[in-house]
Amino acid sequence: MLKVDNVTKVYKVGTFGGRTMTAVDTVSFDVRPGEVVSLIGESGSGKSTIGKMILGLTPVTSGSITVDGVPIQPGKDYYRTVQGVFQDPFSCYNPVFKADRVFALIKESYYPSVPDAEWTERVRSAIQDVRLNPDEVLGKFPHQLSGGQLQRLLIARALLLDLKLLIADEITSMLDASTRIDVLNLLAELKARGLGVLYVTHDLSLGHYLAERTVVLRRGTIVEMGLTSKVFDDPLHPYTRQLLSAVPRLHAPWDDIEPPATCLYHERGGVGGLLEADPGHYVACAQLSDC
Amino acid sequence: MTTTTTLPTEERVVRREALYFAVRNTKLMIGFGIVLFLLLVGIFGPILANVEDPNEYVAAAMLPPSSEHWFGTTTFGQDVFTQFVYGLRTTFVAGALGGGIAAVIAMVIGFVAGYRGGWVDEILNMLTNVVLVIPTLAVLLIINAYLGIRSVGVQALFIGLTSWPWAARSIRAQTFSLRNREFVDLARLSGMTTRKIITREIAPNMSSYLFMTFILLFGGSILIASSLDFIGLGPTEGVSLGLMLQNSTQWSALQLGLWWWFVPPGAGITAVVGALYVANVGLDEVFNPKLRET
Ligand SMILES: Nc1ncnc2c1ncn2[C@@H]1O[C@H](COP(=O)(O)OP(=O)(O)O)[C@@H](O)[C@H]1O
Ligand SMILES: [Mg+2]
């Protein structure tokens, strides 16, 4: 369904766009219906940039993104089926309006002819679907609600549309442990409904819990990708191994990865970005730099 | 608010709430009260006074305030109260027109530059800087020499066209910081167009800020207009609070002890600008739910 094909994003930074910064470098992966794909990488690795490009909130520098074979066309029709939920629920609400305005905007754009009473019913049932009590959350300002409530309302908002694809960008990182599980269960339900979910995270254990497939991103490039079980049980890339090593080491920066004596990618004569080591299990060159 | 059976359009709710808090805000009520009162004086005063020319010589010279002449008379026997109500009207017109024109230009340029960014921003920024460094007074002197500023409208237009740059800059800066907030992305994901996002997401977020900007532009226009009047670049006909001040100074009202000649126009200018400022402080509390005492 979603196909990200050799996508690169170069940001212009500095006055007059004097310098550039490559945030995402020739990334390709796909998400199928009814599948959760987790995109794992440390902060600054370009995860949100990928999410924003898929959502059409920032243009790609090169490469293509298609949904059902059609290049994405950000706009009202596109967002009827493709939605995003972001990391920081507090900044997703306009602080001068009540939180339920996010529902009113959906109605205004997509369901202007639905009678108010029926719409209210739909909103209330979507809110119940995310296990909130409509009476507790409707008619309140964002600062009167908790992060978990706000985040769930955003999921409820997405549920009001006929979604095919949801981009969930670190949606649990601001939540406490118990709410986090609830939200993840919600994503599992969406998956069961046949939605494709791109689950962006830096939290390994939770990604494991949910996703069929895992994409490991490092400094804007994919270093390893494949079935979650393969990537987690049999990591091929030294960066993935380090990510998975249970104890984070103090004093040793993440980038101090010792390249292994033998690099699978070179042994097997990989070409292009990724080598298909096992069926459906891809790995990049272990040298972590040009080689 | 426990059970909501219907969800009215969000804006309607916000407006009703804002009104609810507005009428309970003393600062806002006092500030607006004073402005409204002076505005009514400016509107109905001239209608009631109903004279052909407020600069007519109607009584003996230098009369102190009395029941006949509420604000006394000038050295020429003009009625100061009549001049005051006509002047107030002119002053409101100059402020509203000049401030309004400047506010519209500042908002269009500030919103577009801040939201679009990139080369659009750079070009608009350049334009802003050019207007900012134009020596307004020199240009006005030249224009006055060639065309002559004869009406309040032309004066206000000129003020509006030259006084917007600082406001455009601050609106641009605010817009710039707001457009990177995720609720703007979310609005986009709700199918809103750029124009709607600016007017319905970004602008309401800085509504009290915009209002303050308008107040400062409004007050600024009144002050600029008064200064122009004061140095003899005002409209040649009619009367304004600035022209009254100019006349009173020119004819040594202070030295002659004719306080009733310069106090009303001075107090009028101060009251309008000051009351608008007080109202703005109150408005900030109304628009910002976090400042409300609940
Ligand atoms: N609008 C932007 N302009 C310039 N650089 C950006 C912008 N957004 C993100 N970046 C940079 O791109 C890199 C990737 O950012 P991001 O996609 O947010 O990473 P992640 O979500 O994985 O933490 C970071 O180095 C960040 O500084
Ligand atoms: Mg991010």
DSSP assignment string, A224-259: EEEEHHHHHHS--SHHHHHHH-SSPPSSS-TT-PPP
pLDDT at position B80 over 80: yes
For residue range A53-84, what is the model confidence (pLDDT) as tens digits?
A: 999 999 999 999 999 999 999 999 999 999 99
Q: Which residue has the higher pLDDT, B147 or A289?
A: B147
Residue B264 lies in a domain: yes
Domain count, chain B: 1
Least confident of A44-53, A279-288, B164-173: A279-288
Residue B218 lies in a domain: yes
The reply to whether ligand 1 has any atom less than 6 angstroms from the CB of A219 is no
pLDDT at position B123 over 90: yes
Residue B50 lies in a domain: no
Q: Which residues of B touch A95 (CB under 8 A)?
A: 205, 289-290
Q: Which residue has the higher pLDDT, B284 or B78?
A: B78
Whole-angstrom distance, CA of residue A253 vs CA of residue A273: 25
Q: Which residues of B touch A98 (CB under 8 A)?
A: 10, 13-14
Question: Would you give the DSSP letter of residue A5?
Answer: E
Residue B127 lies in a domain: yes
Picking from A254, A258, A267, the residue whose alpha carbon sits closest to that of residue A287 is A258
pLDDT at position B24 over 90: no
Residue B56 lies in a domain: no
pLDDT at position B244 over 70: yes
Least confident of A158-162, A178-182, A216-220: A178-182
Whole-angstrom distance, CA of residue A176 vs CA of residue A172: 8
Contact in structure between A179 and A155 (CB atoms under 8 Å):
no
Nearest to A88 among B182, B188, B192 (CB): B182
Which residues 116-145 of chain B have a CB within 8 Å of chain A? 118, 122
Q: Domain with B85 in it: what CATH number?
A: 1.10.3720.10
For residue range A100-148, what is the model confidence (pLDDT) as tens digits?
A: 999 999 999 999 999 999 999 999 999 998 889 999 999 999 999 998 8
The reply to whether ligand 1 has any atom less than 6 angstroms from the CB of A23 is yes
Q: Which residues of B touch A162 (CB under 8 A)?
A: none
Residue B1 lies in a domain: no
Q: Which residues of B touch A116 (CB under 8 A)?
A: 6-8
Picking from A67, A37, A82, A43, the residue whose alpha carbon sits closest to that of residue A219 is A43
Q: What mean pLDDT value characterizes chain B?
A: 86
pLDDT of residue A31: 96
For residue range B40-71, what is the model confidence (pLDDT) as tens digits?
A: 999 998 888 878 888 888 888 888 898 888 89
pLDDT of residue A290: 47
CB contact under 8 A, B10 and A123: no
Residue B81 lies in a domain: yes
pLDDT > 90: percent of chain A: 55
Nearest to A92 among B13, B14, B183 (CB): B183
Q: Is B7 in the A-facing interface, judged by CB distances under 8 Å?
A: yes
Residue B162 lies in a domain: yes
Residue owning tokens 């910002």: B288
pLDDT at position B188 over 90: yes
Over residues B93-115, mean pLDDT: 95
- pTM beyond 0.95: no
What domains can be seen in chain A, in order of their start residue?
2-219 (3.40.50.300), 238-291 (no CATH)
pLDDT of residue A260: 63
In this structure, are strands A165-169 and A82-85 parallel, antiparallel, or unpaired? parallel
pLDDT of residue A256: 58
Over residues A199-207, mean pLDDT: 79
**And the tokens for B127?**
């334009």
pLDDT at position B5 over 50: no
* Helix, strand, coil percentages in chain A from 3-state DSSP, rounded to 5: 35, 25, 40
Structural domain range at position B227: 17-43+70-291
DSSP assignment string, chain B: ----SS---HHHHHHHHHHHHHTT-HHHHHHHHHHHHHHHHHHHHHHHH--S-TT---S-TTPPP-SSSTT-B-TT--BHHHHHHHHHHHHHHHHHHHHHHHHHHHHHHHHHHHHH-HHHHHHHHHHHHHHHHS-HHHHHHHHHHHT---SHHHHHHHHHHHS-HHHHHHHHHHHHHHHTSHHHHHHHHTT--HHHIIIIIIHHHTHHHHHHHHHHHHHHHHHHHHHHHHTT-S-SSS--HHHHHHHHHHTTHHHHT-HHHHHHHHHHHHHHHHHHHHHHHHHHHHH-GGGS--
For residue range B133-182, what is the model confidence (pLDDT) as tens digits?
A: 988 888 878 887 787 767 888 889 989 999 999 999 999 999 999 998 99
In degrees, rounded to 5, the angle at the alpha carbon of residue A45 between the alpha carbons of residues A49 and A2 is 45
CB-based neighbours (< 5 A) of ligand 2, an ion? A 48
pLDDT of residue A103: 96
Least confident of A101-105, A276-280, B27-31: A276-280
The reply to whether ligand 1 has any atom less than 6 angstroms from the CB of A21 is yes
pLDDT of residue B207: 80
pLDDT at position A291 over 90: no
Over residues A180-208, mean pLDDT: 85
What ipTM, to 2 d.p.?
A: 0.87
pLDDT at position A17 over 70: no
Residue owning tokens 């004093």: A251
In this structure, the residue with its CA closest to atom 25 of ligand 1 is A44
pLDDT of residue B1: 40
CB contact under 8 A, B14 and A98: yes
Q: What mean pLDDT value characterizes chain A?
A: 87
